[in-house]
Each structure stands twice: as structure tokens, then as C-alpha cells.
Amino acid sequence: MFGYEAGSFTGAQKNGKLGLLDQASEGTLFLDEIGDLSLANQAKLLKVMQEKKYMAVGGLKEKTSNVRIIAATNRDLKEMVRQEKFREDLFYRINVFPIHIPPLRERREDIVSLTRFLLRRKNEEYGMNKSLAGEVYRAFYSMPWPGNVRELENFIECLILTTDEDEIHLNDVKLLRSDRDIPSVSIRDLSYDEMMEEFEINLIKNLFEKHETVKEISQNYHINESTLRKKLKKYGLTLPKLK
């Protein structure tokens, strides 16, 4: 968020790096999952909002920032304040005009349009032209989606990457939910990072059931080969077909 100066730490870019505050100067900065900020970064953000000043990592001179900040979270910030995990002064600073977005289960009329939008976006991202059968839309409408739009997006992405046919059917949905062992109920107890890690692990396993090499997956799904190898190392995956 704050950027860093040249030589501020090992591996830093030689010219430093602009932070989000620099890039959003005179504009709007959207901070997703603000409840995940550490107390130290909460203090820095509060200073930005109160004094419009901040310091880049390794910097010797304060910078000024004139941005409008919009924040989002799926956590109960009031409860975090009570537990002293979120600063009370920052809470009241960002809670000027709160907007509550109900979970998908309370606005099922949005599921079909969201699914179409996300499917189109993922098709464009991976250079595919997958479609969903009507029975899949009906199934999506009735599913609980405790992880809300993120769970829906991740599930659609996994579907288009792991199904062979251009049209995705209900059986593909059933197989994928079983193969991935999605924690449809206990997902509420997982953080977003934990959900993403579980998604990535199961997606990688599914891809290697269909393809034998990293290079083959990279070419077929437009996934950077180096990125895929880093993910394998990160999760300690040793797959028999890996080459």
C-alpha cells in the first residue's frame, strides 16, 4: 500500500516501487478485506485518513496523499473492536457511509446474472468458450454459496478448467464438488486466504489428472509455467506424473 524506496530491503527493485496510495493519487482507493490489516498497518492507514501523510518503506521523508478510500470486509468489525483486533478510531473513520451487501443465499435472483458475467470473464481470461447447461443454472440457484461471490467465481473457474466438453452439465458440477471436497458448511470458519489455498491445491490436482506435464498445462490453460511450479513447491505437491 505504501510502496518502498530503492535499496530498502534485500530484493527490492533498484528504483523502488510506488505504493497503491501513489498510484491512486487524487482518485479512489478500494481496500478489500480491511479486517485483515495488521494493527501496525491500521495505524498507518489511520494517519493517511487523518493527516493525509504516510511514509514509504525505507523512506526518510513523509509523502502526502489525497485519495478517497472505500473499504470492504466480510468480518464483524464491531466485534473485532471489542476484541481489540481492530482499532476503534479507524473503525469510526471508515464507517461513515456503510453499505451492507446481503449474502447470495438472500439474493438468489442475482445468481444467474452473476454466473453469466463470471463465466464470460473466465472464458476471456483463459481463451475458452465454455457454456453452462440450463440444469447447471438451476443447480447454482439452489446451492447455498456460503463463500458468496468468491466461492461462485472460484467454482466456475475450476469448472471451465477441468471439464473437457464445451458445454458443462450437472454431472460435471457433482463430480467437481465431490473431487474438491468443498467445505460447504465449515467454509465459514476459513479465512479467504485458506479458501483460496484449498481451491488452488484441488485445482492443481485436477489438472494433473488430465495432463502429464507442467508445460502441457501451461499451454492448454494459459497458465504461466513458472507460476505453476512455484505453486507446486508452495503446497508441497509431489505428483507422480509431474515432469
73 and 189 housed in the same domain: no
Looking at residue 71, which CATH number applies to its domain? 3.40.50.300
Q: Is residue 29 part of a domain?
A: yes
Q: Are residues 86 and 44 in the same domain?
A: yes
Strand 63-64 relative to strand 68-71, pairing: unpaired
Residue 134: inside a domain: yes
Total domains present in the chain: 2
Residue 136, pLDDT score = 92
C-alpha 10/C-alpha 110 separation (Å) is 47
Tell me if 132 sits within 8 A of 167, measured CB to CB: yes
Task: Tell me: do 208 and 122 sit in the same domain.
Answer: yes
- Indicate whether 165 pLDDT > 70: yes
Residue 241 is assigned to a structural domain of this protein: no
Residue 7 has pLDDT above 80, yes or no: no
Per-residue pLDDT tens digits for 192-218: 566 667 767 777 877 777 777 888 888
Sign of CA dihedral 45, 153, 151, 215: negative
138 and 221 assigned to the same domain: yes
pLDDT score, position 18: 82
What CATH number should be reported for the domain holding residue 169? 1.10.8.60
Asked which of 65, 94, 123 is the last residue of a domain, the reply is 94
Residues 34, 122: one domain?
Answer: no
CB 206 within 8 A of CB 172: no
Same domain for 76 and 122, yes or no, is no
Say yes or no: 131 and 212 in one domain.
yes
120 assigned to some structural domain: yes
C-alpha 172/C-alpha 23 separation (Å) is: 42
Q: What is the pLDDT of residues 22-72, one digit of tens each?
A: 888 889 999 999 999 999 999 999 999 999 998 888 888 888 888 999 999
Does 205 map to a domain?
yes
Q: Same structural domain for residues 58 and 25?
A: yes
| 123: pLDDT strictly greater than 90 | yes
Domain identity same for 114 and 72: no
CA angle 98, 101, 104 (to 5 degrees): 170
Q: Is residue 210 in a domain? A: yes
| Count, residues in the chain | 243
CB 81 within 8 A of CB 91: yes
Same structural domain, 110 and 76: no
In a domain, 51, yes or no: yes
Whether residue 53 sits in one domain with residue 150:
no
Domain housing 57: 20-94
Q: At what angle do helices 225-234 and 214-221 cross, to 10 degrees?
A: 120
